Structure 1
Amino acid sequence: MAGAGLALLFLRAEAEGFALCPAPALQTKVFQYRLWDVNQRSLYLRDGHLVAGHLQGANAALEEKVFWVPNRAFEPARLPVILGIQHGSRCLSAQSGPGGQPRLSLQDVDIRELPRAGDSAAAFTFFRSYRDGLWRFESAAHPGWFLCTSPRGHQPLALCRHRDVTSNLLDFYFQLC
């Protein structure tokens, strides 16, 4: 009887034009970190791509800080995060490219909105793993594919397979700003 009474109360409130209070929005804290590869190359924007290179002197101001939020739709033990730059207004995304090989891109999307999308935000989600002071970031949408930098400087951040570790750098330093 109590359930029927509650339903009638909701119907009456709707008929009388009263709006029920919306549920509180999921609060997502955005963290700001510095991310650089094992060759001490910082990340910066060049021609719309996130690039890893040595920045010295006045160019050090070009370094992009990485903003991240947890994605609670995935297994917490795997440390799922969504990564972005420019205060979280542009997020890293692992999209399927030609031949099914994933490619990394920057998407104009608010990092605070993506966790609400749940597992449909897989393209924006990366699993963090830590070993010996270094971090790796594996794509949730493309298992076995990791964020990487090229051995050559000033090349775009990309995705590569773990077996490509001899030709790409998978390990990063990840430090709170």
Structure 2
Amino acid sequence: MACQPALTLALLFLCAEAEGFALCNAPALQTKVFQYRIWDVNQKSLYLRNDQLVAGHLQGANAALEERVFWVPNRAFEPARLPVILGIQNGTRCLASPPASQPTLQLQDADIRELPRAGVASAAFTFFRSYKDGLWRFESAANPGWFLCTSARGHQPLGLSRHPDATHLLDFYFQLC
């Protein structure tokens, strides 16, 4: 009987290899996708315009334009930093910030459920969440010190900024739908 646990463990590894899983080398595929509403401290909602994610006040019939934000945790990064991958359109278009001296925010066609499998190669799609006084910030994993931001002016593209100031708002409300 002493060999049975070892045999069970060996069979688990063989089955995992046969199924194509790498138990120790890659993060597990995250299938649970969370849907949230996100808006900035000036109550501007996110919506898609000319293939860009913008923030503006949406009223009346235009309120239906608001994009829901879908996210999955990215376990390739330190869990204490709350790493997430963010997307829109049911997670088929993801926010990305490739490493650069002057980083930009892009929308890229990608499956939000598959990106965590890329491990640290998914850094361009990963943002670290931080929470203080009811507000959230999202720091780019590929560009440390750069945060998602909206413009103080309405209907401007979502972008990245190093610091909050009169023109860049870094704080967001983030609510489960």
Counterpart residue type for residue 64 of structure 2:
A
What are structure 2's unaligned runs of at least 5 residues? 1-16, 23-27
Aligned residues: 156
1:23 aligned residue (3, 11, 21): 21
What are structure 1's unaligned runs of at least 5 residues? 1-18
SS at match of 1:144: coil
Please give the per-residue CA displacement for 1:29-54, whole angstroms capped at 9, x wherever unaligned. Answer: 10000000000000000000000000
Are 1:173 and 2:163 an aligned pair? no
**Structure of larger gyration radius:** 1
SS at match of 1:127: strand
Are 1:123 and 2:121 an aligned pair? no
Residues 1-177 of structure 1: pairs in structure 2 closer than 5 A:
20-23=18-21, 26-96=29-99, 100-162=101-163, 164-177=164-177
Identical amino acids, percent of aligned pairs: 77
Which whole-Å CA distance do the structure 1 matches of 2:102 and 2:162 have between them? 10
CA gap 1:129/1:57 in 2 versus in 1, 3 angstroms: same
Counterpart residue type for residue 35 of structure 2:
Q
Which whole-Å CA distance do the structure 1 matches of 2:31 and 2:78 have between them? 17
SS at match of 2:161: strand
SS at match of 1:103: coil
* TM superposition score normalised by structure 2: 0.84
**RMSD (Å) for aligned C-alpha atoms:** 1.6
**1:27, CA displacement in angstroms?**
3.8
Note if contact 2:99-2:124 (Cα within 8 Å) is conserved in structure 1.
Answer: no
**1:22, CA displacement in angstroms?**
3.5
Which whole-Å CA distance do the structure 2 matches of 1:172 and 1:115 have between them? 24
**1:157, CA displacement in angstroms?**
0.2
